[in-house]
Structure 1
Amino acid sequence: MTFMNFFGKTCGFIGYALQYACITHCTFEYIGDFVMCSGPSMEPTLESNNILLTEHISPRLQKLRRGDIIIAKSPSNPRQNICKRIKGLPGDKVRGNFPKRSQVVPRGHVWLEGDNSSNSADSRIYGPVPAGLIRSRVVCRVWPLDKITSLAA
C-alpha cells in the first residue's frame, strides 16, 4: 500500500466520520435527544434514573400545551436542567405559594410544577418561567424497559 493510497483512505474515513458527527449533533440539537431524569419532583410519573426521549421542535414553534412535561434550564441555577409539567400558559390564572394569592402568567412565560408537589422546587417558589428557558418536550420514557410509556399530553 502506497502512502498516497493510505492517505486517501484515511481522509475518506475522516470525512465520513465528520459527516456523521455533524448529522448526530444537528439531530440532538434541533430535533430531539435523550435525557436522564433525576430527583423526586416528578414522582410518581417519573423516577430518578428514568431515561426520556425528548423533542426540540414544539418549544421552538411555541406549540406547548398545558400538561406537557418539559426539560428547561433552571431559573435559579442555569447550569442545571429541570423536568416539570406545564400547569399554566400566558394569560392563565395560577396560585403560587408566595404570594398566597392568584397571579396571571405573563406573556412569554409558563407556569411549571412538579407532580410531587410536596417535594418540588418549581414556579410556586420562583414564579413564572420564561419560555425561552424551555429546551425540549418529553415524548416518552424509554428506560427502564419494563416502564416504556408515552408521556405526551
Structure 2
Amino acid sequence: MFRRVLGKTLGFVGYTIQYGCIAHCAFEYVGEVVVCSGPSMEPTIVNHDVVFSERMSRNLFKIKKGDIIIAKSPFDPNMNICKRVIGLEGDKVCTSGPSDLFKTHTYVPKGHVWLEGDNLRNSSDSRSYGPIPYALIRGRVCLKLWPPHSVGTLSESPTRRIIKTQSDSD
C-alpha cells in the first residue's frame, strides 16, 4: 500500500516538474500573455486589453520601427511597459512633446531603442527617461486577445516622429 502511494506521488511530482519545465521554456522563449494597463497606448491598446507578446523577434534581433513591444521599466525592474518603437540605433528622433514650441532632437545610441506611447499627451516614455537598452525588451506584441471585438487587430501608430534613419545617412 505504502509503495503504491509513494509511486503515484513520485509519478505526479515527476509529471508536474516536466510540465513546469515545458511551461517555463514556452514563456521564456516563445511568448506570454500580457494584460496591459494605463492610457499611454490609447487608442491602439486600452486599459485591461489582453495581448500576446512573442519572444522570438527579440531573440533574433528582428524588432522594427513601428512594433509595439513589452519591456522592463528602466526605473522599476518589477514593472513592464508597453510602448511603440519609434527609433532604432542611429536614428534621429524628436525628443520634445507635442505641445512644445521648440523641437529638440537626439540620436538613438548603439544597442538602444527609442520608445513612445501612442497617446503622446499621457505617456511616460523615452521622452522622459531616454532611449532604453535593447536587453530590456521582453517581446513584441503581435496579437490582441481581448476584448473579443478587437481580437487580432493592432493599428498603425497615429504619429511618425522619426526624423532621420541610419540608412538615410549611408
AA aligned opposite 2:107: V
Count of aligned pairs: 152
AA aligned opposite 1:64: I
Does 1:146 find its partner at 2:149?
yes
AA aligned opposite 1:123: S
Residues 81-101 of structure 1, C-alpha deviations (whole Å, 9 max, x = no match): 100000001111101028942
AA aligned opposite 2:87: G
Give TM-score, length-normalised by structure 1: 0.93
Residues 43-64 of structure 1, C-alpha deviations (whole Å, 9 max, x = no match): 0000011111111111122110
Q: 1:79: Cα distance to partner?
A: 2.3
Gap change, CA 1:100 and 1:118, over 3 Å in 2 = same
Which residue in the other structure is 2:71 paired with? 72
Residue aligned with 1:82, SS = strand
- Whole-Å separation in 2 of the counterparts to 1:106 and 1:90: 5
Gap change, CA 1:89 and 1:152, over 3 Å in 2 = farther
8 A contact 2:95–2:105 mirrored in 1? yes
8 A contact 2:55–2:138 mirrored in 1? yes
Percent identity at matched positions?
54
Residue aligned with 2:115, SS = strand
Which residue in the other structure is 2:81 paired with? 82
Does 1:120 find its partner at 2:123?
yes
AA aligned opposite 1:143: W
Give TM-score, length-normalised by structure 2: 0.84
8 A contact 2:33–2:50 mirrored in 1? yes
Residue aligned with 2:90, SS = coil
Which segments of 5 or more consecutive residues in structure 2 lack a partner in the other structure? 157-170
Provide the alpha-carbon RMSD of the alignment: 1.8
